[in-house]
Structure 1
Amino acid sequence: MNHPYVSLFREFCTRWVSRARSLAATIGAKQCDLARAALQAARHPTRRGIALALAAPPLACLAYTLALVPFTPHLGDIRKARVDRPALILSADGKVLTEFKPVNREWVSLNQISPHVVDALVATEDHRFYQHHGIDLQRVAGAALHTFTSSRQGGSTITQQLARNLYPEEIGRAPTLTRKIKEAITALKIESVYSKDEILVTYLNTVPFLYNAYGVEMASRTYFGKSAAELNILESATLVGMLKANSAYNPVINPDRALERRNTVLAQMVKFGKLDARDYAWLQRQPLNVNFEPQAEPVGAAPHFTAQLRRWLTAWADRNGYNIYSDGLVVHTTIDSRLQAMAAQAVGWQTSQLQWIANDAWNERTGCWPGNALFQSFIRQTAGYKAARDAGLADDAAIRKLAKDASFVEALCHSKTQIQAGFVAMDPRNGDIKAWVGSRDFQGEPFDHVQQARRQPGSTFKAFVYGAAFADGAQPGDTIVDRNVAIALKGNAVWKPTDAEPATGRPMTLRNALAFSRNRVTAQLMQRERPEKVAALARAMGVRESPLDPVPSLALGTSPVTLREMVSAYCTIANRGAYVEPRMVTRIEDRDGKVLAEFPATAPQQALPTVAAVKLVDVMRDVVDRGTGEDIRTRFGIHADVAGKTGTTQDNTDSWFILMHPQLVAGAWVGFDDARVTLRNDYWGEGAHSALPVVGAFYDMALRARVIDGRAQLPSSGHNAPRPGHARKRHHFLFWSF
């Protein structure tokens, strides 16, 4: 028997005999007899013994492979992964707000991909693609032979690569035999449920190409500024060449290597009949002609809203067995696309105006210069300052060194002095969120000033103090003397609230105190109602997430809260004192229109007695009719029945304004991310001049477009009917499009 397997078997037996002899010296006589019999069999193997020995390794491999099958993706999961079906997010009026995609990818069908891409892919990565069923045994054998000769060669088919791309966690990433077996099993499963064209289209839509570009469509736009259907043969070969190592063969950062790799792909196309040799001779001399432009992921019409929604929807989907990226969910939200566009326009318009003022206040001659102690503190927070100190420079020397770098100063000043804003509008009748703008530019500032930012609300918090008083039976005509007060705090501290105007020493009605936002009168009313009671009322009305410190100064809004909470609480006022939880989603459907879940408005909870809420609304009408918010009437010419409140915190750090309409309550916050930065202007720093214009512009557009009814009436008592808005002269200097 001269078969090569016999020689291998004899060599194995010889080694085994040597080990058995050493074992025999340590065991008893009976065991020695068994060992001698085994040695005899090894010296004179039979055909049956050889057959069993040869069959053992394949059987062991088969058993191991079968044991790994349960640890690979199930067929049901593979069927779901066939195409991207991201959750579709719709506005209340049926407009697409966004899609929830796991990555920046635009899924395209095979007929939307240039045939040159397919030809280049098959010729380069898997030329027997249409002949095998997921595993190319010839290629596996060739790869194994090269491995034994210390020359590694890939043996993966396109289907195996797809398995690795789709299921990196299940299959693993380590270059082990286990991973290769899992990859092969998954490839066989894929071939059992996918057609060849489906495998190609799924592969081409899932491969990464750097710069947050996933799939051939995004890669085509990123590197060549065109769709995948428009790719020519050179461009197709360049992208396919990147699949081997998308960083090493990146045409942007490694153009020479990318060109060489592209020509290798073209040569493979010639080899397998996809390209004429004469054309190749000309094509290989052509440049790459890259038109590089990274593709930003679309943010949608309400990006901050949908960012919050994604968290909520992910939790809902996990609880109910859905995947927001692949199950084709259709989510109907409460956002009104028209109001959302108006809100974004109003925020953009006002923040642009205020940025001019900020730039003037914070330039290299005033705010952003090394002599400014605050700007020095900004410098100390930078990595450049830390590096200078680590290099041995003293504090003053480090600051002087960095201050001489004009580009450093300019960049630091710009980052610290960008005006920011938040805006949200809700329907007080059902809690529906109709518009949400978390910052002036989501891509430049993704931080959400509606939900994430907690800032002191200033005088907008006074509504809870007066609401508590009216709930206790106080009347708008009741008076408190406008006088200087000193309120003892814990320890030996004393709080002395002040106003811009000196104390008159005369009685002031609660109506006037709220309309003109008098701090001294409000502080005395707070003492009468008690901080604990006011804090409890604010929580009941909608400030339910932020902690409230029950101290006397809470009356002036010293506890930070979110804009979303404050607008929700004002909705309670407009809704006759009944709190309704804010709502983002009305229903969820599958891709075929079947309703999976509905989310009706929550039942109202009476937080403030109706009589007290009606009194509060009546008094807050005076804020816009003749008080601190009168620009709503005089500047923006809004004559609808509305009521609201301005708010400005100490040193003009935070500017607020919230306005109530029977069908819509909207509020805005304006300021800087760093609370130490202000507009340094007492006029523009006030809520009436910073935040109010955002809300005023928004309502002006909404009323003009008749998205809300200008004739609707806020709640009022029979003997105290609402007064129509003052018909004063309107300033026509606002520019926006409809």
Structure 2
Amino acid sequence: MNRRCILFFREYCVRWLIRIQSLAAAGITIARRVFPGALRRLGHPTRRGIMLTLAAVPALFLLYVLALVPFTPGIGDIRKARIDRPALIVSADGRVIDEFKPVNREWVSLGQISPYMVAALIATEDRRFYEHHGIDWLRTASAALHTFSGDRQGGSTITQQLARNLYPDEIGRAPTLARKLREAITALKIEAVYSKDQILETYLNNVPFLYNAYGVEMAARTYFGKSAHQLDILESATLVGMLKANSTYNPVLNPERALERRNTVLGQMNKYGKLKPDAYTWLRRQPLNVNFGLQTAPRSAAPHFSAQLRKWLITWAERNGYNIYADGLVVRTTIDYRLQTMAVQAMDWQASQLQWIANGAWNERTGCWPGNDLFRTFIRQTPDYRAARDAGQSDQVALRKLGMNRTFVRALCRSKTQVQAGFVAIDPRNGDIKAWVGSRDFGDAPFDHVQQARRQPGSTFKPFVYGAAFADGARPGDTIVDRNVAIPLAGQAIWRPTDAAPPTDRPMTLRDALVYSRNRVTAQLMQKESPEKVARLARAMGVRDSPLAAVPSLALGTSPVTLKEMVSAYSTIANRGAYVEPRMVTRIEDHDGKVLAEFASASPEQALSAAAAQTLVDVMRDVIIRGTGAGIRTRFGIRADVAGKTGTTQDNADGWFILMHPQLVAGAWVGFDDGRVTLGNDWGQGAHSALPMVGAFYDMALRARVIDPDARFSPETRAPRKPHARQHRQFLFWKF
């Protein structure tokens, strides 16, 4: 007998003896207290006592089995597990944009599976499948005898294997008696709930086949390029052969082993009469004929949106007793499929052009070469550099060798210089999120630049400063002298904001200061309103998740925020100063259409007075007409009533643009994941990087009339642009 098996069996018996001893000791203690006279008779056993002792062993075993029952899946869970009904995510215009599957699987009925597959499975895995009720006692006893003799064999039926596949956490994989008992109990429950055909169907739709292929349908497509009902005898035998050990009998990587195992399956089919006479001899000589092709799950139309929604839906489902993978929920979202498609197209178009520019600025002859200090920093941050230093190379030697490795340089350069972007659009009237594109390609860059990324917003933050001033009674025609200023900070520090153009030392209206994005004037206005007041207003308007440093430079957007927060805050401006929390879901239904929950728009919160919001919209119209956002008119020919603002951060690390329409507010951020990489002084500006993305989107949306080209902000009256001189108020008395 195999020595390892003997030692295992001995250790197993010892553990059980210890358990029995513990139980016996506990029983004796109780007996001493309850039946003090009974123990005296143990020294003189009778026939009745011996019989009771022999009966105690199976009784204790039965109690142990019963104690395990509560730790196995319930009948209700088992009923749900057979039906694969993933949650469907539906757009506001009725298009399915995603479905939440736990794995890459497509459920097919037993009638859609080749009969050869079923015959091969039963002949190989469980030939008495139709005769037992979940446990094949003959096979179990045979497997136990072989195991004790040193030839370890499995005795699990198809139903027991299904129990393991459906409930790996509850049953476990450890080779213990407790695991086998939990498996057997669950198998008996499954047989009580399912018919034999339902068990086969569920098993064949749940079994894994490597390469993220779950179930026979995905396996047939992956290994043979066809559907499950088209599988022939040889292909069915190959897939069934993989069930013993997927990796060992992988027909792609281990074809010889897979062929041998396939012929073993054919032998079992022949042995139990599943093949025609003389067919086995011919079949076993045939090649595998694998037609391998990876099967990827269908892409979501809004993958970053779906990723955020999945987190929320899991919490909702757990709280309300639903399973998002099995209960067939239908989730009605706010996403507009048409606008989502337009947003993706706009991002692809603009990001591709910017990538062409980035590739010219960052290549092996310019930015991505060891002579560039920044690229040397990138090299020092790689595992390859650390490995070289650990091997004893000096900094200079490691840099030189890695810099000469063209494959390494190209890979590092590409990882650092991929242009990234985020885009989101919100209906300001109800907070509905209409489009959400978190990156150029979710597969390559799943990081979400709409909700996860926090970047400095630059001048797109300035409207909060002007909004605070308008709320305090300032008017667009009021003036501040455009001059150099020195603003004291904490300690001995001094902040001196600058602009691209030198100061004029002349009064400039608040309108023109925002239209032309003047930093010096905005900084002075910030001092008048106070950083604390502006930070409170920004939070009230929608910047509610990111911390805002209440310092003077906040006026120029130095505190990192998310794109979603900024577009939400601009939606407050477009909604006459009333903040409405962004909404993703309108209602949830079951698979029969019954409404399970409805989610109304959040109640509006007045964050900015309606008058101040209207004034702000009017001033920001001029940003589009004659200011930094004029490209919306001149380049894209958009004549609708729109208002917006560009934003560019220091060294052109971030480009922003947000545009407001009465029915839709949309914004884009463009940059690199590593903020030290830039597009240069020209293309890095928000007017050149982010604005075209938003402009192209609105051009498509307005032409398709998804939003009304004739919609106007209310009221339509505009504040006078050149008020009488007596109405001007010059804040010349501020001292810094």
Q: Do they superpose with TM above 0.5?
A: yes
1:698 aligns with 2:697: yes
- Distance apart, 1:36 and its partner CA: 5.4
1:541 aligns with 2:541: yes
User: AA paired with 1:323?
Assistant: N
Partner of 1:576: 576
The 3 A distance-change label for structure 1 pair 669 and 334 is same
Partner of 1:555: 555
User: AA paired with 2:695?
Assistant: G
Separation in 2 of the partners of 1:677 and 1:686? Answer: 13
Separation in 1 of the partners of 2:39 and 2:421? Answer: 89
User: AA paired with 1:705?
Assistant: A
Tell me if the contact between 1:456 and 1:560 (Cα under 8 Å) persists in the aligned partners. Answer: yes
The 3 A distance-change label for structure 1 pair 504 and 246 is same
- Distance apart, 1:111 and its partner CA: 1.8
Tell me if the contact between 2:615 and 2:719 (Cα under 8 Å) persists in the aligned partners. Answer: no
User: AA paired with 1:639?
Assistant: R
Separation in 2 of the partners of 1:659 and 1:154? Answer: 66
- Distance apart, 1:549 and its partner CA: 0.4
User: AA paired with 1:391?
Assistant: A
SS in 1 for 2:665: strand
Separation in 1 of the partners of 2:49 and 2:120? Answer: 50
- Distance apart, 1:254 and its partner CA: 1.4
Separation in 1 of the partners of 2:580 and 2:57? Answer: 69
User: AA paired with 2:707?
Assistant: I
Partner of 1:455: 455
Partner of 1:136: 136
SS in 1 for 2:588: strand
Partner of 1:590: 590
Identify the range of structure 1 (109-118 vs 302-311) with the bigger mean alpha-carbon deviation: 109-118
- Distance apart, 1:545 and its partner CA: 0.2
1:271 aligns with 2:283: no
SS in 2 for 1:322: coil
SS in 1 for 2:151: coil
The 3 A distance-change label for structure 1 pair 277 and 376 is farther
SS in 1 for 2:462: helix
After superposition, the C-alpha distances for 1:407-464 in whole angstroms (9 at most, x for unaligned) are 0000000000000000000000000000000000000000000000000000000010
Separation in 2 of the partners of 1:690 and 1:542? Answer: 24
SS in 1 for 2:669: strand
Count residues in correspondence: 687
Tell me if the contact between 2:250 and 2:258 (Cα under 8 Å) persists in the aligned partners. Answer: yes
Tell me if the contact between 1:423 and 1:436 (Cα under 8 Å) persists in the aligned partners. Answer: yes
The 3 A distance-change label for structure 1 pair 285 and 523 is same
Tell me if the contact between 2:618 and 2:718 (Cα under 8 Å) persists in the aligned partners. Answer: no
Separation in 2 of the partners of 1:296 and 1:323? Answer: 23
Separation in 1 of the partners of 2:40 and 2:163? Answer: 53
Tell me if the contact between 1:577 and 1:607 (Cα under 8 Å) persists in the aligned partners. Answer: yes
User: AA paired with 1:73?
Assistant: P
User: AA paired with 2:548?
Assistant: L
Partner of 1:735: none
User: AA paired with 2:337?
Assistant: S
Partner of 2:520: 520
The 3 A distance-change label for structure 1 pair 527 and 31 is closer
Partner of 1:733: none
Identify the range of structure 1 (244-253 vs 225-234) with the bigger mean alpha-carbon deviation: 225-234
Tell me if the contact between 1:485 and 1:497 (Cα under 8 Å) persists in the aligned partners. Answer: yes
1:689 aligns with 2:696: no
- Distance apart, 1:34 and its partner CA: 4.5
Alignment of 1:413-562 (within 5 A): 413-562=413-562
- Distance apart, 1:50 and its partner CA: 6.5
For structure 1, the residue ranges without an aligned partner over 5 or more in a row are: 1-11, 17-29, 723-738
User: AA paired with 1:428?
Assistant: P
After superposition, the C-alpha distances for 1:290-341 in whole angstroms (9 at most, x for unaligned) are 2222222223100000100001111111111111111111110000000000
Separation in 2 of the partners of 1:325 and 1:77? Answer: 13
Alignment of 1:223-622 (within 5 A): 223-622=223-622
- Distance apart, 1:279 and its partner CA: 2.0
- Distance apart, 1:222 and its partner CA: 1.8
Separation in 2 of the partners of 1:267 and 1:190? Answer: 30
Partner of 2:190: 190
Separation in 1 of the partners of 2:325 and 2:596? Answer: 16
SS in 2 for 1:415: helix
- Distance apart, 1:33 and its partner CA: 7.8
SS in 2 for 1:150: coil
- Distance apart, 1:31 and its partner CA: 11
Partner of 1:98: 98
Tell me if the contact between 1:87 and 1:329 (Cα under 8 Å) persists in the aligned partners. Answer: yes
Partner of 1:81: 81
The 3 A distance-change label for structure 1 pair 719 and 293 is closer
Partner of 1:149: 149
Partner of 1:19: none
Tell me if the contact between 2:439 and 2:446 (Cα under 8 Å) persists in the aligned partners. Answer: yes
Partner of 2:730: none
Partner of 1:646: 646
- Distance apart, 1:509 and its partner CA: 0.9
- Distance apart, 1:697 and its partner CA: 0.5
- Distance apart, 1:520 and its partner CA: 1.0
After superposition, the C-alpha distances for 1:485-526 in whole angstroms (9 at most, x for unaligned) are 111111111111111111111111111111111111111111
Tell me if the contact between 1:574 and 1:715 (Cα under 8 Å) persists in the aligned partners. Answer: no
User: AA paired with 2:469?
Assistant: A
- Distance apart, 1:207 and its partner CA: 0.9
- Distance apart, 1:229 and its partner CA: 1.9
After superposition, the C-alpha distances for 1:320-370 in whole angstroms (9 at most, x for unaligned) are 111111111111000000000000010011000100000000000010001
Partner of 2:28: none
Separation in 2 of the partners of 1:254 and 1:127? Answer: 27
- Distance apart, 1:381 and its partner CA: 1.1
- Distance apart, 1:63 and its partner CA: 2.4
SS in 1 for 2:435: strand
SS in 1 for 2:343: helix
SS in 1 for 2:682: coil
- Distance apart, 1:148 and its partner CA: 2.4
SS in 1 for 2:536: helix
SS in 2 for 1:347: helix
Identify the range of structure 1 (663-672 vs 223-232) with the bigger mean alpha-carbon deviation: 223-232
SS in 2 for 1:492: coil
Identify the range of structure 1 (687-696 vs 217-226) with the bigger mean alpha-carbon deviation: 217-226
SS in 2 for 1:262: helix
SS in 2 for 1:682: helix
Separation in 2 of the partners of 1:187 and 1:211? Answer: 28
The 3 A distance-change label for structure 1 pair 287 and 338 is same
1:220 aligns with 2:223: no
Identify the range of structure 1 (605-614 vs 253-262) with the bigger mean alpha-carbon deviation: 253-262
Tell me if the contact between 1:614 and 1:717 (Cα under 8 Å) persists in the aligned partners. Answer: no
- Distance apart, 1:62 and its partner CA: 2.2
1:678 aligns with 2:678: yes
- Distance apart, 1:541 and its partner CA: 0.2
1:37 aligns with 2:44: yes
- Distance apart, 1:676 and its partner CA: 0.5
- Distance apart, 1:169 and its partner CA: 1.3
After superposition, the C-alpha distances for 1:634-676 in whole angstroms (9 at most, x for unaligned) are 1101110000000000100000000000000000000000000
SS in 2 for 1:422: strand
SS in 2 for 1:160: helix
User: AA paired with 2:94?
Assistant: G
- Distance apart, 1:239 and its partner CA: 1.0
- Distance apart, 1:182 and its partner CA: 1.0
User: AA paired with 2:407?
Assistant: S
User: AA paired with 2:354?
Assistant: L
Tell me if the contact between 1:526 and 1:555 (Cα under 8 Å) persists in the aligned partners. Answer: yes
User: AA paired with 2:44?
Assistant: A
Percent sequence identity is: 76
After superposition, the C-alpha distances for 1:257-286 in whole angstroms (9 at most, x for unaligned) are 111111111111111111125222122122
- Distance apart, 1:719 and its partner CA: 5.6
- Distance apart, 1:569 and its partner CA: 0.1
User: AA paired with 1:712?
Assistant: A
TM-score (norm 2): 0.91
TM-score (norm 1): 0.91
After superposition, the C-alpha distances for 1:580-622 in whole angstroms (9 at most, x for unaligned) are 0000000111111111111100111000001000000000000
